[in-house]
A and B are shown apart, each in its own frame.
Chain A
Amino acid sequence: DQQVKQNSPSLSVQEGRISILNCDYTNSMFDYFLWYKKYPAEGPTFLISISSIKDKNEDGRFTVFLNKSAKHLSLHIVPSQPGDSAVYFCAAKDSGTYKYIFGTGTRLKVLA
């Protein structure tokens, strides 16, 4: 049972354009949603998060949007840079167990 889904395994975007990564979830007990970025041979690093009581959080070039009714969140990167090329994982935290559930990841490639 995949509670957090990233349906696009890969995405290619031109440098300077917007990258949009999507994530869907099924569990209404999730209270925080997070995006992690992972480079090869490294552990995931935290990028940005959003509480379930908000619908938008912005940090520089990165914005996360949450649509609770649709159980959908997205990460926008504007403008995209070649250094953003990595695998992006969506994760959700269960409010009861503090357990984090990860999606399968989307590999972003930003073309120079």
Chain B
Amino acid sequence: EAGVAQSPRYKIIEKRQSVAFWCNPISGHATLYWYQQILGQGPKLLIQFQNNGVVDDSQLPKDRFSAERLKGVDSTLKIQPAKLEDSAVYLCASSPWGGGAGNEQFFGPGTRLTVL
């Protein structure tokens, strides 16, 4: 079974530029999550999709961040414009509805964003 795919793996941009990240979840997983992990901290949920609907985006800075999950499969996360404090690893995860057998999520390798 293929895992969660993310691209790019690394991205370096100047502040005020735009950037987009892509995620392909495990086939058949209804729930998709985007997390932001700042160095030294745990992953923080940005947005959670159930199929192509948003379940929770309460911690998404909506003035600059946007995300979509068209057709309930792939997802993109965009930052426009980026700020220095957006430097982090952006993790995508997926799970079957309600969580896996152990209620776990399956994570991709992440995209490391550096904003200069």
Q: A104 to chain B: closest CB distance in Å?
A: 5
Does chain B have a CB within 8 A of A79? no
For B, the interface residue count at a CB cutoff of 8 angstroms equals: 27
A102 near B43 with CB under 8 A, answer yes
Q: Is the CB of B45 within 8 A of A99?
A: yes
Interface of A is mostly: strand
Query: Assuming A43-B4, A43-B110, is B102 touching A34 (CB within 8 A)?
Result: yes
The majority secondary structure among interface residues of chain B is loop
Cβ of B34 under 8 Å from chain A = no
Nearest opposing residue in chain A for B101, CB measure:
A49
A104 and B33 in contact, given A41-B109, A43-B91 (Cβ under 8 angstroms):
no
B43 is contacted by which of A32, A42, A44, A93 (Cβ under 8 Å)?
A44
Per-residue contact bits, chain B 42-54, to A (CB 8 Å; 1 contact, 0 not): 1111001000000
> In the bound complex, do residue A32 and residue B48 qualify as a contact, i.e. CB atoms below 8 Å apart?
no
* Nearest CB in chain A: distance from B92 CB, A: 8
A-B contact count (CB 8 A): 64
- Is the CB–CB distance between A98 and B102 below 8 Å? no
Q: How many A residues are at the interface, by size bracket?
A: 20 to 34
| CB proximity of A30 to chain B, nearest CB, Å | 11
8 pairs from A and B in contact (CB 8 Å cutoff) = A34-B103, A41-B109, A48-B102, A98-B98, A98-B99, A100-B105, A104-B40, A104-B42
